[in-house]
Structure 1
Amino acid sequence: MSNTVKIQRPKIPQDIKPLDFCPNEENLFELCIIRDCSIINEDIHRIRFEQVIFKNVIFKDVSFKNIELTDVIFDHCDLSNTDFRNGSIHRVEFIDSKILGLNLSDASLGNVFFQSCNANLISFGYSKLKQVLFDSCSLRNADYYESTFTKVAFKECDINEASFERTPLKGIDLRSCTFDRINVSINDLAGCEVTSNQAIGFARLLGLIIK
């Protein structure tokens, strides 16, 4: 697989209006831009955002389990340690954002684009990723434990110490990525595209002595 997959962009009209984040009974936000603010100490189950842009928004101590994101853009946001477990995330972009430790475990992601993000320690454990592109992201110590990849691409990312345990990497192209070590079983490496230098590193996992 090449380092580029076709990603459907979020479908957001140009004439959306600014809106302050104030939780409502429906837990639904749509057709709006939320910008230049902080969302703090919110714990809301099954909140929905449809056709929404977040710009320069800081999330602090936020838990949105079972979140539904459809046609959403996070632009220069800070979602560090935010909890989106069991989320449904479709046609979403994370652009130049700090998503350190973002919890996306048990989530379903489709047509999601991560560009120039600090995504160290991000968690995708048990998640399903379909048509997802990571472009120029730092994914150090990212956790993809027992994830399912369908048309997933990594382009020029730092994936050092990322964990792909029990996640088959067949068809995944890591040649443009940088890492000294990643956590993956040899069986799950079958069909993964790597450079010759990267292959030497994987050979060490087999206990080979390379001279």
Structure 2
Amino acid sequence: MRDGGTGSGAAAGAAGAGRARRRSAAAAVAKRAEVRLPPLSPYGGGLDPDGDYDGLEFTNLDLRGEEGPGARFIDCALRGCGLDETVLRRARFVDCVLSGVRGVGTDLSEASLRDVEMVDARLGGTQLHGATLERVLVKGGKIDYLNLRKSRLKDVVFEGCVLSEADFGGAELVRVEFRDCVLRRADLSGVRMKDVDLRTVAELDIARGLDRLAGAVISSAQLLRLAPAFAAQIGVRVEDALD
């Protein structure tokens, strides 16, 4: 009876440990942004440095070259706006939706985005270096040459989008998920990762920083595709044996 009790206790302990691991894995899933905007007032003006924008809807506005460093957007929607060379350095976006925005060279360096949804964006050379992104959803669209160097991403989901030559150099990624994305020629130099999920990335192409994947989870198929690069990283030469 004592032996049976010991076995039962061990089994129960193992089951408990398994449940704890599952709970831990569940807790590591990114907290998805869910923005529910109040009724918004239409806005037709430009941007001002340190401007306050609360409960406003920017629709199909040409904001190219506008300067709004330090501006604050709370409960706002930007839909179909042009952001070519728009300066929003150190701006804050809280509970906002950016839908169908487009532009080249948008400056969002050192900006703060919290509870933000970015949908179907078409952007190139966007500067987000030194920025803080928390509970952000980037869904659909295509972003080329995204600069996220030394930024901090926490609870961020990239879903169904194309990221071409994104630069994550020196960034910190915590609970970040890439779902059904294309991640092409990504630079992961100096990145710190914790609970980063890459398993459903459709195209995983890492230009630099392959050794910084500690803290990420990839699929077995991705591992096979990356195996030659991993071997090269540690100096292993792969050759078939001669007959």
TM-score by length of 2: 0.79
Q: Match for 2:37: what amino acid?
A: I
Please tell me whether the aligned partners of residues 8 and 91 of structure 1 are also in contact (alpha carbons under 8 angstroms).
yes
1:192 is displaced (CA, Å) by 2.6
Q: CA RMSD in A?
A: 2.1
Aligned to 2:119: 95
Aligned to 1:198: 225
1:205 is displaced (CA, Å) by 2.5
Q: Match for 1:179: what amino acid?
A: L
Q: Distance in 2 between matches of 1:26 and 1:173?
A: 36
Superimposed CA distance per residue, residues 104-125 of structure 1 (whole angstroms, 9 cap, x where no aligned partner): 1101111100001211210111
Task: Tell me the percent identity.
Answer: 20
Gaps of 5+ in 2: 1-24
The 5 A counterparts of 1:123-202 are 123-177=147-201, 178-186=203-211, 188-194=212-218, 195=220, 196-200=223-227, 201-202=229-230
From 121, 126, 129, give the equivalent of 1:105. Answer: 129
Superimposed CA distance per residue, residues 46-98 of structure 1 (whole angstroms, 9 cap, x where no aligned partner): 01111111111111221111101111111111033200111011111110111
For structure 1, which segment, 172-181 or 80-89, has the greater mean C-alpha deviation from structure 2 after superposition? 172-181
Change (3 A) 1:62 1:204: same
Please tell me whether the aligned partners of residues 4 and 155 of structure 1 are also in contact (alpha carbons under 8 angstroms).
no
Residue 32 (structure 2) pairs with residue 7 (structure 1): yes
1:134 is displaced (CA, Å) by 0.5
Superimposed CA distance per residue, residues 136-188 of structure 1 (whole angstroms, 9 cap, x where no aligned partner): 111121000111111111112111210011113343222222134431142x2
Higher helix share: 2
For structure 1, which segment, 122-131 or 197-206, has the greater mean C-alpha deviation from structure 2 after superposition? 197-206
Q: Give the 3-state SS of the residue equivalent to 2:66 in structure 1.
A: strand
TM-score by length of 1: 0.90
Larger radius of gyration: 2
